């Protein structure tokens, strides 16, 4: 496993685990980041990631992306 922040642009990955406090995990789940879902890295700008989750595009900073393990 590695953090989502290490995925390359254009790569589609599957979430294996989400770490952090309950509030953080709940917030990510509300955005669509749940275990066994697929995420595509659309772009990376200054360490922040633009991600395609289901039918939405979401921007995450590196700190949150490091909590999502793929």
For residues 58 and 65, what is the distance between their CA atoms, to the nearest angstrom? Answer: 11
Q: So what's the pLDDT on residue 4?
A: 95
CATH of the domain at 22: 2.30.30.90
Encode pLDDT of 47-60 as tens digits. 899 999 999 999 99
Per-residue pLDDT tens digits for 7-65: 999 999 999 999 999 999 999 999 999 999 999 999 999 889 999 999 999 999 999 99
What range does the domain containing 63 cover?
4-69
Q: How many domains does the chain have?
A: 1
pLDDT at 22: 95
pLDDT given at position 47? 84
- Judge contact between 2 and 42, C-beta under 8 A: no
Entry pTM: 0.89
Of 8, 15, 11, 47, whose CA–CA distance to 31 is shortest?
15
């Amino acid at each position: 496993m590695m953090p989502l922040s290490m995925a390359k642009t254009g790569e589609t990955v599957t979430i294996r685990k989400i770490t952090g406090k309950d509030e953080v995990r709940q917030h990510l789940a509300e955005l669509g980041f749940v275990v066994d879902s697929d995420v595509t890295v659309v772009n990376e700008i200054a360490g922040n990631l633009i991600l395609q989750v289901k039918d939405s595009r979401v921007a995450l900073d590196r700190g949150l992306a490091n909590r999502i393990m793929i």
